[in-house]
Structure 1
Amino acid sequence: MTSDALVTSPLGVLAILLASIVVAELLARYRTMKKLGAALIVIAVGALLANLRIIPPATSGNPVYDFTFTYVISGSIFLLLLQVNLGALRRAGGQMIGAFALGAVGVFLGVLIANAVIPLDDMIGDKSRALAGMFTGTYIGGSANFNAVAVAMDVTRDGGLYTATTVVDNVMTDVWILIALALPALLSRTRWFRAVVSSTATAPSQQAVAPQIDHTPLSGTLEIALPLALASLAVWLSTMVSAWLSARGVGVPSVLIVTTLALIAAQVPAFSRLASAHTIGLWAVYLFLAVVGANADLAALAEAGQLTPMLFAYVTIIFVIHAVILIGVGALLKIEPVVLAIASAANIGGSSTAFVVAEAEDRHDLVLPAILIGSIGTALGAYAGFAMTALLR
């Protein structure tokens, strides 16, 4: 697909994306921008660059975007998990699974309500049932389920409808990632969560449960080269093993394999003490977020005509019901705001976005639970999507 962007070469796009990370980091140091954080800023900068057509939107296709979504985020997961504290799982795992289940219930009910309120039947006929399944699948377990339902229900054959739905999904997912990143701070200020925040503040500090990183006596070159080599090897192996298993009828997402490899490597002291691994992994996360921002191609929505506002309203209803159930019941169950935010990100965006929220909050103890519940969502989302299409028949 061609693009009218100012810069289209992969090297040029990569250079601009890396520059946007620098800009976000510098802006986050100012008092007025500090509360937003670099993660929020880099998404906004990526979206601005794409919509001003300085770089092409991610929907136009570019090797940099494909490589980032396929390999960079997996490599960052590996690097950041090298220092994970497995003992922290006992404290975080139960709450995280409960919050994720609440969010999934909210999505399912939200789709039912949106389908009843928004008259998509009048515009696209029986395809509205397919869209309900697509949105159910993607907002319980990520975009892989969106496409699985779309292919099965022949929505991909309707190019205009599929494109409009995909762009709306991308834009609204980006919006929700921004909300999820801001949610812990927002909820912590409300009276419903003050008691929860106070109790966690008196518990052992996050630094106590996070790993203590000792610098290794490696040379500067090895300190950078070793984690990059390990991450590249892990991502390559996970991709190969996942493809090999898939060819034999066993579907295991590569993110689960790379997570397993990271946990094995983390048991080797020489690897777990690599201080640079966290820095490189965080840089990769920011590159991923810049590409996520570039996914929000607002110009493409104009081509869908009257269907566009209807789809936005449809997804807005889903998100509102999801948030009401997750936050409302979460407050009653005294679940930490950051856990609710991570669970919500796992529902709406999958493992990658959940993991990003955990890292942005500097909650190393929640990184692994975030990835695991995202993987659960990926496994269950397609089933939920097809169940929705059957329910609406």
Structure 2
Amino acid sequence: MYMQESFNTPLRWQSFFFLLNVKLKDLRYAGLPMLAMFIAGSICTVIGVLAGYFITQPQHHDIQQSYAVAGMYTGTYTGGSVNLNAVALQYGVNKEGTLFAAINAVDNIVGTTWIMITLVLPSFLQKFFPREKKLSGLSSDISGQEAVNKISFGKEEVTVPGISILLALGFGSLFLSNLLSQYIPQIPSILTLTTLALILAQIPFIQKINGARVMGYFLVLVFLAVIGAFCDFKALSQSGDVAGLLLLWVSILIIIHGVLIFFIGGLFKQDWDLISIASNANVGGTATAAVCAASLGRKDLELPGLLAASVGNAAGTYLGIMVAELLK
């Protein structure tokens, strides 16, 4: 029981605290083209996960709970690794230290490779298929930098009262989600916790409390330490077949995602930079979306990319569990 809680508690809380930064009212700054391409990218991710699943047949190659792994990759390539961890928690994959380490290693390898590709692909496509670069239409009452500062990961002034309130919210929400799962076991407790976090994030008083992001990152480190403590490195080094199959699966996933999102965007004459940033928001989440926009010289797309990624943070867990249940 203690080992289970040592895995579950930091993982549940990191998702909760990260989601406290998702302000749905700010979606008006994202713009319809970015949101449309992001949603298209999420659908492309699901198609890629399912195609890779049926091609590689991981359930027949010693990958336990392959349906859950499919949900994890759906979540992480919808809006970042927070979703991968949340889905892993729901199905207990995080307690399989060696498998979980292999899943994360493949995610990092393929995800990083695709993020690098999204930085150079727009200029290549622009040479052969020129597109007009349309500036994102931010509201006239807010500058681009001010808009980015509203959601970017800058410095936070953390106070003891603020941390105390956040901890109280975390304990209370965790208690309510566990209580509801006892009475309605059909609803996964992680989805209840995710929903509570999203509701709380829209309350003005909660939005003024600093420290949620810091708490989230701190708990990520705690979680990684716990995973590392229970990871069998000898077994990991000998799991070449499993790691190789996961690498093939995720490579198929990302190729299908990339080809489809750029094809759909190109079909609707969308700006290549915008498509690239939307895909980056899917694969890398909030951590890389703004960096991608800045690297492409598109300051006007930093905020839309960040906001699209924040939608992925919110929706990825739901989508991941939906795919896992579909394949279960």
TM range (shorter): 0.5 to 0.7
Match for residue 88 of structure 1 among 21, 25, 29: 29
Q: Give the whole-Å Cα distance in 2 for the aligned partners of 1:224 and 1:147.
A: 30
Q: Give the whole-Å Cα distance in 1 for the aligned partners of 2:304 and 2:179.
A: 32
Contact 1:341 1:357 in 2 (8 A): yes
Q: Is the counterpart of residue 166 in structure 1 residue 109 in structure 2? A: no
Contact 2:44 2:256 in 1 (8 A): no
Shift of 1:101: 1.1
Size of the aligned set, in residue pairs, is 288
Shift of 1:139: 1.8
User: Aligned runs of 1:136-175 on 2, under 5 Å?
Assistant: 136-141=70-75, 142-145=84-87, 165-175=99-109
Contact 1:149 1:385 in 2 (8 A): no
Q: Give the whole-Å Cα distance in 1 for the aligned partners of 2:97 and 2:217.
A: 27
Shift of 1:94: 3.4
- Per-residue CA distance 1:231-287 (angstroms, 9 max, x = gap): 32332332223223222214433122112212113xx5xx6567xx3xx45545654
Q: Give the whole-Å Cα distance in 2 for the aligned partners of 1:370 and 1:234.
A: 24
Amino acid at match of 2:168: L
Q: Give the whole-Å Cα distance in 1 for the aligned partners of 2:98 and 2:290.
A: 32
Query: For the pair shown, which has the larger CA radius of gyration, 1 or 2?
Result: 1
Q: Is the counterpart of residue 241 in structure 1 residue 173 in structure 2? A: no
Match for residue 255 of structure 1 among 194, 219, 234: 194
Shift of 1:137: 2.1
Match of 1:28? none
Percent identity, please: 15
Contact 2:286 2:306 in 1 (8 A): yes
Match of 1:378? 317
Match of 2:16? 74
SS at match of 2:159: helix
Q: Give the whole-Å Cα distance in 1 for the aligned partners of 2:130 and 2:219.
A: 35
Q: Give the whole-Å Cα distance in 2 for the aligned partners of 1:247 and 1:185.
A: 46
Match of 1:101? 43
Q: Give the whole-Å Cα distance in 2 for the aligned partners of 1:291 and 1:187.
A: 36
Shift of 1:86: 4.6
**Normalising by the residue count of structure 2, what TM-score does the alignment of the two structures yield?**
0.65
Structure-2 change in CA distance of 1:150 and 1:69 (3 Å):
closer
Amino acid at match of 1:385: A
Contact 1:330 1:340 in 2 (8 A): no
Amino acid at match of 1:169: I
Q: Give the whole-Å Cα distance in 1 for the aligned partners of 2:192 and 2:114.
A: 24
Contact 2:13 2:219 in 1 (8 A): no
Out of 233-242 and 183-192, give the one that drifted further: 183-192
Q: Give the whole-Å Cα distance in 2 for the aligned partners of 1:359 and 1:238.
A: 30
Match of 2:145? 207
Match for residue 52 of structure 2 among 88, 94, 110: 110
Contact 2:38 2:279 in 1 (8 A): yes
Contact 1:110 1:317 in 2 (8 A): yes
Amino acid at match of 1:259: L
Structure-2 change in CA distance of 1:376 and 1:235 (3 Å):
same
Q: Give the whole-Å Cα distance in 2 for the aligned partners of 1:81 and 1:147.
A: 21
- Per-residue CA distance 1:338-393 (angstroms, 9 max, x = gap): 22112234xxxxxxxx344447669455555434444444234344335446xxxx
Match for residue 239 of structure 2 among 304, 319, 326: 304
Structure-2 change in CA distance of 1:244 and 1:301 (3 Å):
same
**Normalising by the residue count of structure 1, what TM-score does the alignment of the two structures yield?**
0.56
Contact 2:106 2:246 in 1 (8 A): no
SS at match of 1:200: coil
Q: Give the whole-Å Cα distance in 2 for the aligned partners of 1:186 and 1:299.
A: 38
Q: Give the whole-Å Cα distance in 1 for the aligned partners of 2:136 and 2:31.
A: 18
Structure 1: any 5+ residue segments left out of the alignment?
1-59, 214-221, 346-353
Shift of 1:100: 1.0
Amino acid at match of 2:39: I
Contact 1:196 1:336 in 2 (8 A): no
